[in-house]
Chains A and B, each alone.
Chain A
Amino acid sequence: MKKTGITFVIVLTLLAGTGFAFAGQNVVIKGSTTVLPVAQVTLEAYMKSHPGVNFSLSGGGSGEGIKALIDKSTNIATSSREIKKNEIELAKSKGVNPVAHTVAIDAIVPIVHPKNKVKDMTIDQLSQIYQGKITNWKEVGGDNLTIVVVSRDSSSGTFESWGHLVLNNAKVTPKAQLQASNGAVVQTVAKNRYAIGYIGLGYLNKSVKALTVNGVTASIETAIKKEYPIARPLYMYTNGQPTGEVDRYIKFVLSSAGQKLVAREGFVPLTLETKKKAPGKKKG
């Protein structure tokens, strides 16, 4: 009894102290919190089929990841934006050659109650609504009803992408309701004709109505063609063409099995063949 108690305590302390660090030779993945869920699920699946390989995964933001790639302190930098010119120059000066691998597309759809008359919105209107500057549906062509803004918890990747692509990093109104998952947003909006929310494209279902943005319908096709404005590719950057374990991992992410996992996390997979695997079964 005594022994197990103490072992438990030691394990606790270790967990608390070291986070996700592993000992020995390992592959480091670092960067965007938006890509984090993609990296996490694919890595879990990959490690199951390739036991004995050490990976260490952490967030910190796209900039941090690319910085780490340039410093050669990470093998893979995940990023929700393209690498900047000055970053490429800095990398070249240090003998690092960043190579981009697009692993998924993050497309976010504004959704409303099916009975809402509004069909289309501009990015600017969405931004005004989320900043709390437009508060009534009649201002955007709907009924005379208060707008209930539904947002995600501030540390989710979807929140980050929405803030970046729609709000241009302006603050979301504090009156916005918070839901902890894409599924919970769908659930809330489906039950409330006053509400507007946003979700990853993969979570869209018939209980809610997707708005078109600047006249473009959100779909995997329009997201890939870059016609749909609230979408961005997610990248993994490596130093030169990947080799060995890194190469095998990235190939796995891009494989149909990997892309299925991508879709399950609510992102748009790169290939259309996984389209029919309806995702979005997650509930908050």
Chain B
Amino acid sequence: MTRQQKEIIIKGLFAIVAFVSVMILTLIVVFLFREGIPIFREVGLSDFLFGREWYPTYDPPSYGIWPLIIGSFIVTIFACLIAVPLGILSAVYISEIAPPAVREIMKSIIELLAGLPSVVLGFFGMVIVAPWLQETFDLPTGLNIVNASVILALMAVPTISSISEDAIYAVPQEFKEASYALGATKFETIVRVIMPAAFSGISTAVILGMARAIGETMVVLMVAGGAASIPESIFDSVRPMPASIAAEMGEAPFGSGHYHALFATGIVLFFLTLVFNLIADYISHKFKEVGSATL
């Protein structure tokens, strides 16, 4: 066997491996659509998306997922309000300000946070945060938007922080040196030079963090309370889409309207995360620093 032949075989092998994983993914998507689409024979698209009532097991059933969509968005947005400043600022501190010893310790702690199973965080939210919230603010329930957002933020911080940190780290040394040479302080350098140069990477980090939060299931299942109604305050319970799917799929009769409706909810979720990823992709290309500052 010549070297060229070996080369061809190896190339082919890798192509097949890559193809298999794409195939599996495609089949999963096909399956998702095949199981989800039939619901639209029973209910129109706009009634499904914007219907206010989710009563899938009653007769006649109502399959409106609007409260679930709102639930998903609201916890994601609040989680971001908490996680974005925390994540970015800790990334700045770790990569620019902290002395090397502190940096190593903080980095590993944040990575440890990323490794915590979501069920553990969910349990923490359920038995520690919920009663505390309830006592402190004298609320009817501690399983609410605030609780879910805080726990989701804890999960998004490591994602945002580590990707932002990579982006900041990738800002070339020359930029900083030029800034200092012009007499800028460390703070001015961070705000005016490093942050803008790392903008695309940081935005990607934020959006991937959001995608992480919106698709997270266990935490919202355990701590969001699960009321399928549109919330009136940030201390109300909500039922985000993944929680609904996880809670109901196990016992929804195979092939029933309820079963198809849950898969259709999955399709909505799939499109949302897809959009997030496309935006992240777009931003990282659009605002890519040219010249020596490539990410």
Contact = CB atoms under 8 A, between A and B. Distances in A.
Contacts of B140: 145-146, 148, 192, 194
Contacts of A14: none
Given A9-B24, A178-B226, A36 B67 contact: no
Given A1-B16, A174-B53, A188-B143, A180 B27 contact: no
A19 B243 CA distance: 24
A36 B251 contact: yes
A184 B16 CA distance: 45
A90 to B, nearest CB: 22
B246 A180 contact: yes
Contacts of A173: 229
A191 B58 contact: no
Contacts of B130: 191-192
A144 to B, nearest CB: 12
A188 B141 CA distance: 9
A175 to B, nearest CB: 5
Given A8-B24, A145-B140, A195-B141, A155 B250 contact: yes
B117 interface: no
A205 to B, nearest CB: 15
Nearest to A15: B31
B137 interface: no
A196 B233 CA distance: 21
B126 interface: yes
A187 B221 contact: no
B17 interface: yes
B226 to A, nearest CB: 3
Contacts of B31: 12, 16
A157 interface: yes
Interface in B38-57: 53-57
A179 interface: yes
Interface in A184-235: 184, 187-188, 191-192, 194-195
A179 B226 contact: yes
Interface string A136-167: 00000000011010000111110110000000
Contact of A175 (B56, B222, B227, B258): B227
A2 B16 contact: yes
A164 B134 CA distance: 32
A21 B143 CA distance: 40
Contacts of B67: 174
A5 B57 CA distance: 38
A238 interface: no
Interface in B18-34: 20, 23-24, 27, 31, 34
B85 interface: no
B127 to A, nearest CB: 7
Interface string B1-25: 0000000000001001100100110
Contact of A148 (B54, B141, B228, B258): B141
Contacts of A33: 251, 253
Given A9-B23, A178-B226, A180-B246, A156 B131 contact: no
Contact of A194 (B34, B56, B141, B254): B141
Contact of A192 (B57, B142, B239): B142
Contacts of A160: 57
Interface residues of B, number: 46
A154 B239 CA distance: 13
A240 interface: no
B143 A177 contact: yes
A1 B13 contact: yes
B36 interface: no
A83 B207 CA distance: 56
Given A179-B226, A284-B222, A5 B23 contact: yes
B58 A177 contact: no
B204 interface: no
Given A2-B16, A8-B24, A192 B141 contact: yes
Given A13-B27, A155-B248, A180 B141 contact: no
A33 B226 CA distance: 22
B99 to A, nearest CB: 42
Contacts of A95: none
Contact of B253 (A60, A145, A171, A176): A60
A19 B228 CA distance: 29
Interface of B: 13, 16-17, 20, 23-24, 27, 31, 34-35, 53-58, 67, 126-127, 130-131, 134, 140-143, 221-222, 225-229, 237, 239, 243, 246-248, 250-255, 258
Q: Which 7 pairs of residues, A with B, have the shortest CB-CB distance? A: A178-B226, A5-B20, A174-B229, A155-B251, A153-B247, A180-B247, A146-B140
Given A1-B16, A175-B237, 17 more contacts: A1-B13, A5-B24, A9-B23, A19-B255, A60-B253, A153-B247, A154-B57, A155-B56, A155-B57, A173-B229, A174-B227, A177-B143, A177-B227, A187-B127, A191-B142, A192-B130, A192-B142
